[in-house]
Amino acid sequence: MSVTIGWDDDSYRILCVTLTNNWSPQQLYEMAQERFPQLLLNTTTVPSMIVDFTQSGTMSPDGILKLWQEAFGWLQTLGLSSMLIVLVHAPPIIRSAGGTLRNLRVPVMRYTFFVDTIEEAHSLIRSHRDETPPQSLPPSQT
């Protein structure tokens, strides 16, 4: 499967999305809609998320900004707008779209970061946890 979504830790505090060759933005969005509600049943707090592009290969720029818009709108609907999102080894087109959204001051970009390794992602998440109290999921998500 070219998109997998699951827990990265036993404490259900880090979701991990792994993308491999031949994934598409639409496939990612559909898989997230299917898996996130199930996974959130395991926690009562807003988790962090790692999106690992390390083995994602190349991708078409078609629909990238739409994916960002739909995904972040959907996360807001789930009550996850304060989720820390760390994108690992994101392709230039993803970084560019993220930079555009950051320049437009899209609120969710305040919690979105780009790093080069999984280790950097875990370090950033640990640091964020040390500085930020956990936030509860809305009642409809717990």
Distances (CA, A) of 23 to 29, 31, 53, 95, 113: 11, 11, 10, 17, 21
Judge contact between 26 and 63, C-beta under 8 A.
yes
Angle, in degrees to the nearest 10, between helices 92-103 and 64-77? 60
Alpha-carbon span 85 to 127, nearest angstrom:
13
Tens digits of residue pLDDT in 13-66: 999 999 988 787 778 888 888 998 899 999 999 999 999 999 987 766 666 767
Instruction: Say if residue 89's pLDDT is above 50.
Output: yes
pLDDT of residue 142: 43
pLDDT of residue 115: 97
